[in-house]
Chain A
Amino acid sequence: MSRWRGEDAQYEHQFLVRLPPEVAKEVRDSINANSYKRKPLSIDFSDDCRRAVIEYGHDKLYGKMYDLPCIIESQKTVDRKTFYKSADVSQLLICKEDASSDEDIIDVSSMTKGGKILNRKELKKYAIIHGISPPLKNVRKRRFRKTAKKKYAHSIEVER
């Protein structure tokens, strides 16, 4: 009922998306001008939710979902003094205008009943080392204390 399988422990799931500069400007303008509906924006995911295709009007963007190094809280306010935590934001979808490899072109027809959980090794491919604020650039390598593992650390793939 209330297992924390990622998103279930929050009311909403939130993630960040990074768009190419020109598209970002256009999207930002249309959001602010409230004329956003002129160009429809849609998203589609691969089975493991690591790849996405974003369509903006006739433009196609290819995205890859990364895991951010730091815990980011999305904090909501209606008076600019008290803040209510709205969600944990822990992923960043980086979108590019061209598919850099075959891997990026996902087969939309095979989408998705959803819910594939990657193992730890697969997850590492999606770990981004930079935080989103300037001082946390390269934080995973530069600023995180390393955990000293004991020799008999057991394989953690066993339990789920």
Chain B
Amino acid sequence: NTTGGGVSNTLGVRAVLHSTPSVQLNPKLFPTHWTPYSLRNFHRPIFCRPNYGKHHKAPFMIRSVTKRIRKKAKERERARAASGGGEIFFMVNLEDLSATDGEVMLLEYSEEHPPLIQAVGMASRVKNYYRKKASKDTGPQSPEIGEMVMVNNNSPFLGSLSHGQLLQAFENNLYRTPIYKHKMPDDLFLVIKNHNGYHIREAKWLHTGGQLCPKFEVPSPNSKKASNFVRDFLQVYIYRLFAKSTDNPKRIKMDAIKKSFTSHSESSIRKRLKLCADFKRTGDHSNYWILKPDFRLPSEEELRDMVTPEQACAYACMLAAEQKLKDAGYVGKTVVEDEDNEDSQKIEDEVKTAPWNTTRAFLQALQGKCQLSLTGDADPTGCGEGFAYVRVPNKPVVPKDESNVINKQRTVTGTDADLRKLSLKNARQVLRDFGISDEEIKKLSRWEVIDVVRTMSTAAVKSGEDGLSKFARGSRFSLAEHQERYREECQRIFEIQNKVLASEEVLSTDEESVSEGDDEFD
């Protein structure tokens, strides 16, 4: 891997297994319709209906779930024992996703708008990456959560771990992110409201999440990928409706679909229905779509392959980011980067930070197709504590005002920069200008003098000194040097992030100012 960072996607190949409602794209978890309001509150749900559930009237009792946690843990233990101690899959129903049992970790993401966000019900694993010390190392003390993974210089992040360093990561099919353990504040509790009423419990762990390393590309608005997803998502929804139908022959009504997919035109829904069903105007099945007798409904397994939860998440992330750009006044064509346009300079900064651009840049950089700018406007922290995922070419870029220098070097022959024509007297003068003593100079032969002139000029140019470029040779940075600098820069930001997000130190700010008041924050 020549592109620095050496981020490896091959570490921890073990795939995650999502809950059953997730892979079935349960509409409770994967909305079929988005409003501007819902996109602005993307993954930031606002509590607005306290009397959810018929049997509960205000004031609502808040109950402890300690008993339930123990009971459920025992049930799982029994199930494990009955199966002979193997691993059992427990996340079958929506109820199984409830935080009223099991252990709970709170993961607070440091990015305001992470490029990819999971839906409820999706699975992740915690990996504890550890790089052994050079000498004998029995390994670190194992953290409470996660599995140990030993790494060498094949770092799973943009920077590499030092010997004896342990870094926890939270990863799934969408992204990997380093996480940093913190103490759960003593006065903080988790309140859970479901159809059984209100519940209170402790969350066991609190982690801060670093900047995401995307593994999945977010589609651009109006791209082929995006429209294919919309098509397939609807198609799979229709197949599942047919699969659920208990009538013989299987039949569904258009209204059932229209109600959920309100942004689709009736004709586009009809187009998907026609593939597998016939519309009956009259007879027993009047106004129903009947599954064609010769049509074989895809199996649940096949449906799961057609549309994955990851695709649904990526698409939703695109919609939310598009809404954000629209709200900020970026409209129409400027939002989408031309697929063939490699010149990322022309895109506005704000659009560069859109997830379809950042995820693509990151993944391409992994493949060595480009580098990342690392710093600049697209850094999500805005204060140099994160990476800017913006594509820049692999090769060193020569700023325009310096191109003259390069030109001179190309036409060295016949000019006063030609080292062959440089007289010994003049060459010695150059060395004196570099601060070399006459005694030293006298010891050198002509060719040695010229050699020193060349090396010192080149070195001077590289370190950024002016006026000595005439006798410099070779490009200012070799490719290897360029990549080395890139690696160093990655490492620097990686270490800043680790330091800042692992810090327990509470920054001194005005404790009283909990609320933003009238200040702008967006």
Q: Would A42 and B64 be within 8 Å (CB), given that A3-B35, A115-B49, A144-B112 are in contact?
A: no
Q: Is the CB of A126 within 8 A of B120?
A: no
Query: Is A104 close to B, CB under 8 A?
Result: no
Q: Would A91 and B46 be within 8 Å (CB), given that A3-B33, A10-B120, A83-B126 are in contact?
A: yes
Q: Interface digits, A121-133 against B, CB 8 Å rule (1 contact, 0 not)?
A: 0001111111111
Query: Is B193 close to A, CB under 8 A?
Result: yes
Q: Once bound together, how far apart are the Cα atoms of A77 and B120, in whole Å?
A: 13
Q: Would A139 and B182 be within 8 Å (CB), given that A11-B98, A34-B66 are in contact?
A: no
Q: Could you list 26 examples of A-B contacts with CB < 8 Å? A: A7-B45, A10-B28, A12-B100, A18-B188, A19-B187, A27-B189, A34-B66, A40-B61, A44-B50, A66-B514, A72-B107, A74-B105, A75-B104, A76-B104, A79-B87, A84-B18, A84-B91, A85-B122, A90-B43, A114-B50, A125-B516, A135-B110, A141-B521, A144-B381, A156-B327, A159-B36
Give the residues in chain A near B34, CB-CB below 8 Å: 4
Number of A-B residue pairs, CB cutoff 8 Å, is: 386
Q: Which 8 A-B pairs have the closest CB atoms?
A: A150-B329, A153-B329, A145-B382, A2-B27, A4-B38, A36-B64, A90-B44, A24-B187
Q: Is the CB of A77 within 8 A of B187?
A: no
Q: Is the CB of B515 within 8 A of A49?
A: no
Q: Interface digits, B360-404 against A, CB 8 Å rule (1 contact, 0 not)?
A: 000000000000000001011111010000000000000000000
CB distance from B84 to the nearest CB of A (A): 16
Query: Is A105 close to B, CB under 8 A?
Result: no
**Chain A at the B interface: SS class:** mixed
Give the residues in chain A near B106, CB-CB below 8 Å: 72-75, 89, 132
Give the residues in chain A near B503, CB-CB below 8 Å: 134-135
Give the residues in chain A near B180, CB-CB below 8 Å: 133, 135
Q: Would A9 and B45 be within 8 Å (CB), given that A74-B190, A78-B103, A134-B503 are in contact?
A: yes
Chain A residue nearest in CB terms to B33: A3
Give the residues in chain A near B504, CB-CB below 8 Å: 134
Give the residues in chain B near A149, CB-CB below 8 Å: 328-329
Give the residues in chain B near A153, CB-CB below 8 Å: 327-329
Q: Which of B44, B50, B145, B383 contacts A77 (CB 8 A)?
A: B145
Q: Once bound together, how far apart are the Cα atoms of A73 and B190, in whole Å?
A: 12
Give the residues in chain A near B379, CB-CB below 8 Å: 145
Q: Interface digits, B5-30 against A, CB 8 Å rule (1 contact, 0 not)?
A: 00000000000111100000001111
CB distance from A16 to the nearest CB of B (A): 6
Give the residues in chain B near A83, CB-CB below 8 Å: 105, 123-126, 170
Q: Which of B120, B185, B377 contacts A86 (CB 8 A)?
A: B120
Give the residues in chain B near A75, CB-CB below 8 Å: 104-107, 124
Q: Is the CB of A85 within 8 A of B119?
A: yes
Query: Is A113 close to B, CB under 8 A?
Result: yes
Known: A41-B62, A127-B521, A133-B108. 10 other contacts (CB 8 A): A11-B97, A77-B103, A77-B105, A82-B124, A85-B123, A111-B50, A115-B48, A129-B513, A131-B208, A139-B110
Q: Which of A14, A43, A49 contacts B192 (CB 8 A)?
A: A14
Q: Is the CB of A7 within 8 A of B47?
A: yes
Q: Once bound together, how far apart are the Cα atoms of A76 and B499, in whole Å?
A: 27
Chain A residue nearest in CB terms to B41: A6
CB distance from B54 to the nearest CB of A (A): 13
